[in-house]
A and B are shown apart, each in its own frame.
Chain A
Amino acid sequence: MQTLNFQQLWRYQDQLIDGTLHTLLLTLVAAVLGTAIGVAAAAAVRSGPRPVRWAIRGYVELIRNTPSLIQLFVVFFVLPGFGLRMGAFEAASIALGLYFGAYCTEIVRAGLDAIPGSQVEAGQCLGLSRWQVFRYIVLPPALRSVYPAFTSQFVLLLLGTSLASQISAEELFHTGGFIETRTYRSFEVYAVICGIYFALVMTFKLLFAAVGHLAFRWPVRR
């Protein structure tokens, strides 16, 4: 029986660190892009003109009901045919950003819907502009109500970045494949890769709990 041997992997620690950093960067870029899309699209779905609302609904349904891997392939292999040529990392950032944005749109929309119209009215009655009402009155409690859903989706995004390996973006899972072909220590390699993903997710969960604690300090009447 083959014994476990993690020692050979030590030689690849630079690659593992590099892959981890790329995974983190890919996650953060996609999350920022997706959050921006989500907030803007959710706001537009509520108050934008009808064609915009339809376009956003179409985008959300298309992304949420098709495999992420195919979306990634479309961005990386199909868009160059229309003159949009980009590297694997950029393509993965955009595809995952669009993916995260679609879920984010629904999450933020649910949060905005949870804010009673009377709050908006109260803001208008103080002479605030539509933007001020959205920014100061609607958004903070809406974000609080969707924060758990948002952070769960972020974790799914982080784990989902492994798909980018399929277009050779050099993230953590891709690095794992590379090391495996060099060492033939499949179990050890993927155990380490899993461990790193697990540590990343747990770190983010702690971080999110701390941020949530600091950002949403106002008491809620139950």
Chain B
Amino acid sequence: MALVDIRNVTKSYGSTQVLKGVSLDIKEGEIVTIIGKSGSGKSTLLRCINALERIDGGEITVEGQPVRTDMPNLRDFRQRVGIVFQAFNLFPHMTVERNITLAPVLNKRIAKADGRALALDVLERVGLADKIDAFPAQLSGGQQQRVAIARCLAMKPHLMLFDEVTSALDPELVGEVLKVMEDMARQGMTMVLVTHEMGFARNVASKIVFMHQGRVWEEGPPAELFANPRTPELQSFIASVR
């Protein structure tokens, strides 16, 4: 069974239909990269998977459970499905440790000492254990994004969503974030990424999904998709990002 099952999902903002019947399977351990032009509905789809946006039609299930913005166990669900944003969204008034342990301490009621150990553990995975007592404003963009990933990992999610996580970074900082994501992919984390990093999509992803005008236009393994795009839209997209 697929970990995420998206069936014929539609979504509009006012009179603009952003998703026009999207269907997609994501299996456990898969690294799915969603590519496409701005406005093709990539980020909206990602936000729908995490119940940040209400869908108008169709169905999304995660681990067999239908996803809805008014689902009764939404808070538990959100702890199983982590999301990392383009703008990091770290809490500026908290240290890195507190950013990471806030939710586990409040919701999973872990002890303070265990919280620090948890923070150190996830920070080591993103290579930032020495920044545990720093505040976000004292970190570079790449470091902040790695902390945001660590914060997500501390929830021990079953699925992680990444919404253009390298787009706000200076070019020289992109690599460190991608490396962390590659490590996570190797460790078997199921990941869905919206990205413009074609190199990452090509080398790490197990499946590429090309979205165009609110639909899944093409999908398949990266080697196949990049080598033999079937539609002129994907051909021109690949040519434009090359």
Contacts and interface: CB of A to CB of B under 8 A. Distances in A.
Interface of A: 118-119, 121-129, 132, 136-137, 140-141, 144, 216, 218-221
Given A122-B85, A218-B93, 5 more contacts: A125-B50, A136-B91, A136-B106, A219-B135, A220-B92
Contact of B75 (A128, A137, A144, A220): A128
Nearest to A219: B137
B85 A127 contact: no
A144 B135 CA distance: 16
Contacts of A127: 75-79, 103, 107, 155
Contacts of A221: 92, 137
Contacts of B78: 124-127
A219 B138 contact: yes
A214 B83 CA distance: 33
B236 interface: no
B117 interface: no
Contacts of B52: 121, 124-125
Given A122-B89, A128-B107, A218-B94, A136 B137 contact: no
B42 to A, nearest CB: 17
Contact of B91 (A122, A144, A219): A122
Contacts of A140: 93
28 contacts: A118-B87, A118-B89, A121-B89, A122-B90, A122-B91, A125-B78, A126-B102, A126-B103, A126-B151, A127-B75, A127-B76, A127-B78, A127-B79, A127-B107, A127-B155, A128-B75, A128-B103, A128-B107, A129-B75, A132-B106, A136-B106, A137-B91, A141-B93, A218-B93, A218-B94, A218-B137, A219-B137, A220-B137
A133 to B, nearest CB: 10
Contacts of A125: 50, 52, 78, 82-83
A124 B82 CA distance: 11
A125 B89 CA distance: 11
Contacts of A220: 92, 137
Interface in B27-73: 50, 52
Contacts of A128: 75, 102-103, 106-107
B231 to A, nearest CB: 34
Interface in B176-226: none
A6 B107 CA distance: 63
Nearest to A139: B93
Q: Is the interface of A mostly helix, strand, loop or mixed?
A: helix
Contact of A218 (B79, B83, B135, B155): B135
Contacts of A122: 85, 89-91
A119 B137 contact: no
Contacts of B155: 126-127
B174 to A, nearest CB: 20
Which 8 pairs across A and B sit closest by C-beta, in order of nearness?
A122-B89, A126-B103, A127-B79, A221-B137, A127-B78, A127-B75, A219-B137, A218-B93
Given A127-B107, A220-B92, A118 B79 contact: no
Contacts of B90: 122
Contacts of B151: 126
A140 B98 CA distance: 14
A162 B170 CA distance: 57
Nearest to A215: B93
Nearest to A118: B89
B161 to A, nearest CB: 9
Contacts of B83: 125
B162 to A, nearest CB: 12
